[in-house]
Amino acid sequence: MRPPPIAFELRPQPQLPRADAARDETLGDLRFRALLSDQDWAALPPAIRRRFSRRLADGATIVYAGTVIETRMSRAGWWMAQAARPIGAPLPISSDGDVPSVVAVTEDMAGGGQVWTRLYARRAGFPQIIHSAKRFAGPTGLEEHVGFGIGMALTVHAVEAALIFRSAGYFVQLLGRRIALPRWLSPGALTVTHGELSDGWFNFTLELVHPRFGALIRQTAVFREAGT
């Protein structure tokens, strides 16, 4: 007597994640995410969350190309920008508007953060190039270093669907020591706003306001990732 036939049930196989998707998951950068509450992070547009969640590995670089729309500088702001040129010219040195700009971001192998290189074309003279390193350290969890041991602590906020960075004190690192700059030596309160536009474009606004001299510098630019 033959045994009864065995019935096989064919079930769909679970779809495995693609190799590139798994790699993207592994390389997700949660360092900016950790500086905000869950509610604030969720309030940001998805494009901003993606932009600040990309970990750069193996020497990869993200390049953003765009235009400086406007740069306004008071007389005191212009003098402050010129005075900062010996430490790498971290502030706009001219009031040119409607000029091309390029920003490159890569991983900082030495400091464990990111290196930001900004190029601003000028109507006269060579383009201005600004180098800085964002490091996830210090009392606020984020610092920006501009060279010669000079840096500032930053706080991160989500306000009206924009990501905002605000200065929270300046310092100098000298001979292994960190020395806070007194308020009278501070260039003022720096605010950088990253807001989403449409079709992959985003705006960048830098504002520097001094407690005594008022508004010093305000620069507005728009960018989009190159090749998109």
pLDDT over 90 percentage in the chain? 74
**Summary mean pLDDT of the chain:** 88
pTM: 0.85
pLDDT over 70 percentage in the chain? 88
Express each pLDDT in 169-213 by its tens digit: 999 998 889 999 998 889 999 999 999 999 999 999 999 999 999
Report pLDDT for 109.
79
Domain 29-225 class?
A: mainly beta
Express each pLDDT in 77-88 by its tens digit: 999 999 999 998
Cα 44 from Cα 32, distance rounded (Å): 12
What mean pLDDT is predicted for residues 146-159?
94
Report pLDDT for 11.
39
Express each pLDDT in 106-151 by its tens digit: 988 777 899 999 999 999 889 999 999 999 999 999 999 998 899 9
Report pLDDT for 28.
80
Q: Give the three-state DSSP class for 197.
A: coil
Neighbours of 82 (CB within 10 A): 12
- The domain locations on the chain are 29-225
Report pLDDT for 40.
97
Kind of pairing, strands 150-159 and 162-174?
Answer: antiparallel
E strands present in 74-109: 99-108
Q: What are the structure tokens assigned to 18, written together?
A: 């693609």
